[in-house]
Amino acid sequence: MNNIEHISTALTARQQGLQALLMLTEQIRELAEQDDWAAALSEQRRRRAMMDEFFAMPCSPAESSAVASAIETMLNVDKEVTSMLYRQRGTLSQQANQSCRNIRNVDRYLSNTSM
């Protein structure tokens, strides 16, 4: 049994669930960095379902610190992903505007040529 397997077996089911949420959150960030928004959305939906399941059961006082830390981490990553998304949206909007200008310029040129 390697070290990671040993650590995983030592974790409780709740700790494993929290770890899975954090790993999925990191996966969402990586997909966003790669501009793979369809996959990021799919993983976000999966994470939402996992979060609903995880938080359906109240946190014990013993795990509240770890859960609070995980929530903070997820929120920080979500802020990063949201920033990436808005930047990407802005870039796409600029490209769309430039394409519209190019089409208008081509139309103007064509209207001034003799055929």
The mean predicted confidence, pLDDT, of the chain is: 88
Q: What is the mean pLDDT of residues 32-59?
A: 95
* Domain hosting residue 107, numbered range: 3-111
pLDDT digits (tens, 9 = 90+) for 1-21: 555 555 555 568 889 999 999
pTM for the structure as a whole: 0.74
pLDDT digits (tens, 9 = 90+) for 54-88: 999 998 888 899 999 999 999 999 999 999 999 98
Average pLDDT over residues 91-95: 88
- The CATH code of the domain that includes 17 is 1.20.58
Q: How far apart are alpha carbons 9 and 2 in whole angstroms? A: 11
H helices present in 1-115, as ranges: 3-10, 13-33, 37-55, 64-111
How many domains are contained in the chain? 1
